[in-house]
Amino acid sequence: MSPKWRIGKLWSAILPNDEVEPGFRERVEHIIRQIPPGKVMTYGQIAALAGSAHAARIVGGIAHFGDPDLPWQRVVNKKGGLAGGYPGGRAEHAAALSAEGVAVSDAFYVPVAELLWWPEQ
DNA sequence: CGAGTGACCGCAA
DNA sequence: ATTGCGGCCACTC
């Protein structure tokens, strides 16, 4: 696979037909909105779907400065660990997930293997 | 404008 | 098993 790997196929599965191809941030925010309650996605997964497989970090940046109305509590890292930068810290992040029925361990980890959601469904 | 930083990931020692 | 570092794009200063 080339470094500039694109996943146009998966992206087209969640992008409405009449939408023009938006910027990276727009794509990330669009993906976040598709995550159903009780499910989670990882930063790397979102970055890949948005078009840059190694831009997981950027997703974190958007999470911090981006739209606070988006369900960022449904975004966790690859190990299922919660985000320390979440408003109120990991405790608030855990509380938001618990409210949706997600089991969060005492060490602030979620069973990402079971809860991981893909937009192609 | 330019440079630095970030709620991350994956591969190499 | 752990540690280090490159990479990506958007945002702030």
pLDDT tens, residue by residue, A37-71: 999 999 999 998 888 888 999 999 999 988 899 99
Which of A89-100 are b and which e, b meaning 16 or more Cβ less than 10 Å from the residue's Cβ?
Answer: ebeebbebbeee
Best CA proximity match to A120, nearest among A5, A3, A7: A7
Tens of pLDDT, residue by residue over A68-118, are: 999 999 999 999 999 999 999 999 999 999 999 999 999 999 999 999 998
> Which single residue has its CA nearest the C1' atom of nucleotide B5?
A61
3-state secondary structure of A23: coil
Written as six digits, the tokens of A46 are: 């979102």
Kind and range of the H or E run holding A42: strand A41-42
Residues 32-71 of A with CB under 7 A from strand B: 42-44, 54, 56-61, 63-64
> Which single residue has its CA nearest the C1' atom of nucleotide C6?
A54
Distance CA A68, CA A61 (A): 12
Best CA proximity match to A43, nearest among A80, A68, A70: A80
pLDDT at A59 (0 to 100): 93
